[in-house]
Amino acid sequence: MYKELKIPGRTLYVSFNLRVVLQFQKEFAKEGSSNIDIEKLISEVGLEGQMKLFYLGLKEGHRKAKKDFDMEFDPDFFDFLDDYPEAIEQIASAFNDSVPQGDGEQKKRQTRARKSQ
């Protein structure tokens, strides 16, 4: 699944799926780490890592939409963000929509509560 982003004069596609998370983890996680705590990892990698995650999401979105993606991370993606800073908010929103919110224990309790009704 992917989401369309409308940028003046352009439509972009973004997808944050397991493939993107694994690519991101492979590039930024510490050696030997097998835990996929994406929120913790994002907080540790700083701005460059966050921008790389957004770039990977765009690249994957275009792949899933079967659309050409001709941006390199540096300099094309950064030039794009300079020209369209509102894209950062749209990409971040797409990421937030795709990542489960709340802690796992809370979700387990909610699931158990629904099953017992």
Q: What is the DSSP string of 56-95?
A: HHHHHHHHHTT------IIIIIHHHHHH-THHHHHHHHHH
Confidence of residue 35 (pLDDT cuts 50, 70, 90): low
pLDDT at 109: 45
Number of residues assigned to the chain: 117
Structure-token pair, residue 67: 């659309």
Task: Tell me the pLDDT tens digit for each residue of 88-112.
Answer: 999 999 999 987 665 554 454 444 4
Provide the 10 A C-beta neighbour count for residue 55.
23
Structure-token pair, residue 1: 């699944």
- What is the separation, in whole angstroms, between the first and last Cα of the chain? 32
Whether the Cβ atoms of residue 13 and residue 65 lie closer than 8 Å to each other? yes
Task: Tell me the pLDDT tens digit for each residue of 37-94.
Answer: 667 777 788 898 899 999 999 999 999 999 999 999 999 999 999 999 999 999 999 9
pTM (predicted TM-score): 0.78
Q: What's the total number of domains in the chain?
A: 1
Whether residue 32 has pLDDT greater than 80: no
Provide the 10 A C-beta neighbour count for residue 84.
16
Instruction: Identify the domain containing residue 23 by its residue range.
Output: 3-116
